[in-house]
């Protein structure tokens, strides 16, 4: 069997692509976020990373450091770190993700706020165990002006798997996710509210079927300080649209799945 796999790899390399991918165990970290508090979230995720010691890839929700941008309503004060404050902590977040990747030996993926040239970006970081990283800036931004859109896609390779990375609202834009043979798996990290839960469940399956690829969705769960609920519904969907694994709704948990 090892000889067959080696021959497949050599043939793939000769053709300019890798035909053999290793089995890859992926941790989908469906978490209750500490809204607006970077330090508290980093501490909480540090403990969750310890549950992923046997995994090759660890996926965190969108803006795992702070949750979606929050504003006070009515007479409730704003007690959250500003976008500027969160963006200023970008080096700290990156360093912590590098520690997690090195400690676990896994590729660690999650997003936080990044600022450059007076523009804010919802930046996904894919951090490898050796400390190197790649990034993707969310292209389809839900709130006009809250974040600037990125223009470049990111398709990375890990354990022989070609993985496209997207963030939340990107899920609604089929053309942006269009697969023309570039990837095997598409990953969507999100802060997707319960009020649009049916869309999340349907669109993950649609993206899988139309792109003939596995889809991983990782969403936060729980309730934010203003009462908005997040069901989680983190899952792995097969290319035929079948849900292979799904997290417990509303739970704070680590769901482990395998990419073959």
Just list the catalytic residues: 62, 138, 168
Sheet strands side by side (includes 243-246)? 155-158, 161-167, 185-190, 214-219, 235-237, 243-246
Closest CA to 234 of 103, 78, 61, 68: 61
Q: Residue 247 carries which DSSP code?
A: P
Q: Report the DSSP pairing between strands 57-59 and 107-116.
A: parallel
How far from 103 is each of 46, 58, 108, 157, 207, CA to CA, in Å? 11, 12, 11, 20, 33
Distance separating alpha carbons of residues 54 and 104, to the nearest angstrom: 8
How many CB atoms are closer than 10 A to CB 104? 20
What single-letter DSSP state applies at residue 17? Answer: S
Helix (H) or strand (E) holding 136: strand 133-137
Question: Sign of torsion, CA 133 139 141 145?
Answer: positive
Closest CA to 108 of 90, 129, 79: 129
């Amino acid at each position: 069997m090892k000889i067959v796999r080696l021959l497949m790899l050599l043939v793939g390399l000769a053709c300019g692509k890798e035909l053999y991918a290793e089995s890859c165990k992926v941790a989908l970290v469906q978490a209750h976020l500490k809204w607006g508090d970077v330090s508290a979230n980093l501490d909480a995720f540090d403990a969750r990373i310890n549950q992923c010691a046997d995994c090759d890839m660890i996926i965190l929700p969108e803006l795992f450091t702070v949750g979606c941008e929050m504003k006070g309503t009515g007479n409730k004060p704003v007690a959250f770190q500003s976008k500027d404050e969160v963006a200023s902590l970008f080096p700290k977040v990156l360093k912590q993700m590098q520690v997690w990747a090195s400690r676990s030996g896994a590729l660690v993926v999650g997003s936080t706020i990044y600022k450059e040239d007076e523009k804010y970006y919802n930046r996904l970081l894919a951090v490898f165990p050796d400390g190197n990283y790649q990034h993707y800036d969310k292209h389809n931004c839900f709130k006009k002006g809250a974040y600037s859109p990125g223009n470049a896609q990111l398709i990375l390779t890990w354990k022989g798997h070609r993985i496209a990375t997207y963030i939340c609202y990107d899920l609604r834009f089929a053309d942006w996710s269009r697969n023309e043979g570039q990837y095997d798996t598409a990953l969507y990290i999100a802060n997707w509210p319960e009020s649009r839960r049916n869309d999340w469940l349907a669109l993950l399956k649609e993206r899988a079927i139309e792109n003939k690829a596995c889809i991983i969705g990782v969403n936060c769960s729980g309730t934010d300080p203003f009462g908005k609920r997040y069901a989680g519904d983190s899952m792995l969907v097969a290319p035929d649209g079948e849900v292979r694994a799904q997290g417990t709704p509303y739970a704070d948990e680590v769901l482990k799945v395998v990419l073959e």
